[in-house]
Amino acid sequence: MPEVRLADETFLTDDFLRQLINVGEVDILVGVPTHNNAKTIGSIVEAIQAGILRFFPRQRAAIINADGGSRDGTPELIANAAIDDARGRNSKLYTLRTLHSISTQYASSPARGTALRTILAAAELLRAKACAVISPESTQITTDWLTTLLQPVYTEEFDLVLPTYCRHRSDGVLLTNLLYPMTRALYGLKIREPYALDFAFSGRLGSQFLAQNAWHDETAQAGSETQFTLAAIAGGYRICQSFLGIKEHVERASADLVPAMRQTVGALFSSMEPNLSLWNGKLGSQPIPTTGAERECILEPLRVNRKRLREMFSTGVAELESVFQSILSPSTLAELQQIARPEEVRFCYSAELWARTVYEFAAAYHKSVISRDHIIQALAPLFRGRAFTFLVENSNGSADDVERNIEALCLEFERMKPYLLQMWNGGE
Amino acid sequence: MREMIISELTQAMQELTRGFAHILPRIIVLVIIAFAGWVVAYFLKVFLRSVLRLIKFDKLSESAGAAALLTKAALPSATELLSRFAFWVAWLGFILLGVSVLGILGLQEQIAKFFLFLPRLFVALCIMFFGLLAASFFSRAALLAAVNANLPSPRLLSVSVRTIIIIFVLSMVFEEVGVAEQTMLVAFGIAFGALMLGLAIAFGTGGKDLAQQFLEKRFGYGKKDEGKEDELSPL
């Protein structure tokens, strides 16, 4: 029997370790990172339990909750969730094995990286064959999610299953305008959701990531989900996508943009240095195996404050000129200043200019021209400008039009890749 | 009489010659030490310049905002300035060492004071450099945070942060080198106190609504308006 080794044996609490040892080994593990999610967690755990009962009745399974210091009783709700609640009226649902629910508090304040690390460590210790992570915000979860995410890992030997959703056209603009096009251009894979909060992975990928990721590094901690996807790409693991259905629109505050950019763009930029040999020679992109639709679009009207987006873009360009001078080339900065002028009636942050901007930011991040965190923060106002253009372009278009625009942007990123390499290697 | 004058002159000449003969080797030692000092200082300058170029010190001083100050004052780059400074300090140190060999009364005490002052000067320069670096970093952080939070007058906020840090650093530098310690302390206290009082009055009178909004938002008293437009959902 091979020896079980944890990447850092000291970071799990004794109580949590004792509970894991009592469980023994499992086939399926579902991780739920939480922090004050009492309102939604009940239905999510119920759906997870029902999914396990329905699709994996013969497998040994465990639900692991990694909690970041909830004060609303979230961990207790998970630990006490009775299997009968999940079974409900359907008495045909049963399990041949004990379904364990374990909750642990990894810290007194939430940290996504530590939550994922806790789940990965538990998966390694329990020798789980297939693991899924479900976001506590995924209130639209159905029992089918479990099989959609876990089956490709459990039976088809995929190592990472990423989700695709049916989203509102103004949802996930950072994904559609930066993460997806840039990841695709860099690594040559058409991964729609490089930053996934609902995903599944194999035990071997989990163990590999647990051992390799720089858990003490702040950037790695903040963007652990993105790093996970990128580690799977870099490691040559088998990746596929599964369609999960509707992704509900979550209300955000404008202050949420910078942390979101740190988690995603920061992680993407920081992964470029160690993976240079992997991406510098790649041209074009390939689709990856996908179950269901790649992306669906909801066209219902959703009011987004566009005026504010444009105003914040113009203010950003004007106020951050000294910062942009260290990051952007003079020609790019001049073009941005041109479109940011308030008298500019037909505002358009073109795909070509946006790709050039992002690539110059990536090169500046690599060269650390100023603090790397400041570089990510400086990109936020420019992203608002691009988001404004994207929303205007797609305001009256059909789902196909939206998809066509996203594809055109991706092709622009791919076309501009030599420019990224030129900037990366010190070109002006 | 004539013989007496000649005798006195001869004696004076002999004493002068004796004195000169006595001091000549010391002057030669002084010249040798000064020359050796020049050679050492020159190599120190070349070595320091190479090290500073290797660690990209100019880039660091650029991000600290020191490069801009030097350009405005028509001074050479930070690397060049520091190398030259090291050269002159080292050479002056050697010359003073040579001068102390002459054994001139009172001068040795001054030379000892100079050598004792050097570490304080070095510490003051370090405080100045890192202070400028901190001022640049925190003013940029304030600027970015203000822009992303859509606060009014972000540049004013950034300049205020920079100014406060620079005033604080300068007062520390003056205290370290011992220049007008009391005056600087009192001036800093008055300036800082006046600035804080001014900000408090300005915030209290002009920012009353802003403070109310902030507190309402912070403690969740305010309700979201019906039909209010949503923020962008990036992920």
Nearest to B233 among A172, A303, A319 (CB): A172
User: What pLDDT score does B151 carry?
Assistant: 86
Q: Which of the residues in chain B have pLDDT under 70?
A: 63-65, 68-69, 72-74, 207-211, 213-231
- The shortest C-alpha distance from A340 to chain B (Å) reads 15
Give pLDDT tens digits for A61-102.
899 999 888 888 888 888 777 666 656 555 566 666 678 888
Cα(B194)–Cα(B201) distance, integer angstroms? 10
A170 vs A249, higher pLDDT: A170
Residues from chain A that touch B232, judged by Cβ atoms under 8 A, are 170, 173, 252, 254, 257, 304, 309, 384, 387
User: What pLDDT score does B117 carry?
Assistant: 84
| CA nearest neighbour of B139 among B168, B114, B159 | B159
- Which of A4-18, A181-195, A224-238, B22-36 comes out lowest in average pLDDT? A4-18
User: What pLDDT score does A247 carry?
Assistant: 80
Cα(A359)–Cα(A372) distance, integer angstroms? 14
Cα(B160)–Cα(B156) distance, integer angstroms? 6
Q: What is the 3-state secondary structure (H, E, C) of A74-97?
A: HHHHHHCCCHHHHHCCCCCCCCCC
Q: Say if residue A334's pLDDT is above 60.
A: yes
Contact A253 B229 (CB under 8 A): no
Residues of chain A with CATH 3.90.550.10: 14-298
Helices (H), ranges, chain B: 2-54, 57-64, 66-72, 78-101, 107-148, 154-177, 181-206, 208-219
Residues from chain A that touch B222, judged by Cβ atoms under 8 A, are none
In the numeric block, which tokens belong to residue B147? Answer: 């822009």
B234 vs A382, higher pLDDT: A382
Q: Per mean pLDDT, which of A143-147, A164-168, A315-319, B57-61 is the most reliable? A: A315-319
- The shortest C-alpha distance from A257 to chain B (Å) reads 7
A41 vs B225, higher pLDDT: A41
- Residues A253-275 have a mean pLDDT of 86
- The shortest C-alpha distance from A290 to chain B (Å) reads 21
For B152, the closest chain A residue by CA position comes to A315
Cα(A355)–Cα(B103) distance, integer angstroms? 73
For residue A383, give the 3-state DSSP assignment. helix
User: What pLDDT score does B220 carry?
Assistant: 57
- Residues A283-295 have a mean pLDDT of 82
| CA nearest neighbour of B140 among B118, B125, B162 | B162
Average predicted confidence (pLDDT) for chain A = 85
CA triple B48-B66-B56, angle to 5 deg: 40
Contact A254 B231 (CB under 8 A): yes
Q: How many A×B Cβ pairs under 8 Å?
A: 98
User: What pLDDT score does B217 carry?
Assistant: 63
Cα(A341)–Cα(A242) distance, integer angstroms? 43
User: What pLDDT score does A407 carry?
Assistant: 92
Residues from chain A that touch B154, judged by Cβ atoms under 8 A, are 315, 319
Give pLDDT tens digits for B101-127.
777 777 777 778 888 888 888 888 888
Within 13 Å, how many C-alpha atoms sit on residue B76's CB side?
Answer: 8
- The CATH class of the B119-218 domain is mainly alpha
Cα(B171)–Cα(B193) distance, integer angstroms? 14
Q: Say if residue A180's pLDDT is above 70.
A: yes
CATH 3.40.190.10 fits A14-298, yes or no: no
CB–CB of A108/A80 below 8 Å?
no
Contact B147 A315 (CB under 8 A): yes
Q: Widest CA span of chain A, in angstroms?
A: 72
- The shortest C-alpha distance from A70 to chain B (Å) reads 18
Q: How confident is the model at residue A199 (pLDDT cuts 50, 70, 90)?
A: very high
For B142, the closest chain A residue by CA position comes to A374
- Residues A4-22 have a mean pLDDT of 73
For B59, the closest chain A residue by CA position comes to A369
User: What pLDDT score does A57 carry?
Assistant: 84
A298 vs B51, higher pLDDT: B51
ipTM of the complex, rounded to two decimals:
0.82
Q: How confident is the model at residue A7 (pLDDT cuts 50, 70, 90)?
A: very low
For A26, A37, A255, the CA distances from A151, given in Å and listed in that order, are: 15, 27, 38
Residues from chain A that touch B227, judged by Cβ atoms under 8 A, are 303
> What DSSP line would sit under B54-99, residue for residue?
HTTHHHHHHHHTHHHHHHHTT---HHHHHHHHHHHHHHHHHHHHHH
A239-246/A28-34 β-pairing: unpaired
Q: Per mean pLDDT, which of A210-214, A316-320, B161-165, B195-199 is the most reliable? A: A316-320
Q: What is the 3-state secondary structure (H, E, C) of A127-179?
A: CCCEEEECCCCCCCCCCHHHHHHHHHHHCCCCCEEEEEEEEECCECHHHHHHH
Contact B235 A381 (CB under 8 A): no
Q: What residue ranges do the domains of chain B occupy?
A: 23-104, 119-218
- The shortest C-alpha distance from B63 to chain A (Å) reads 7
Residue type, B9: L
| CA nearest neighbour of A416 among A366, A374, A338, A357 | A357
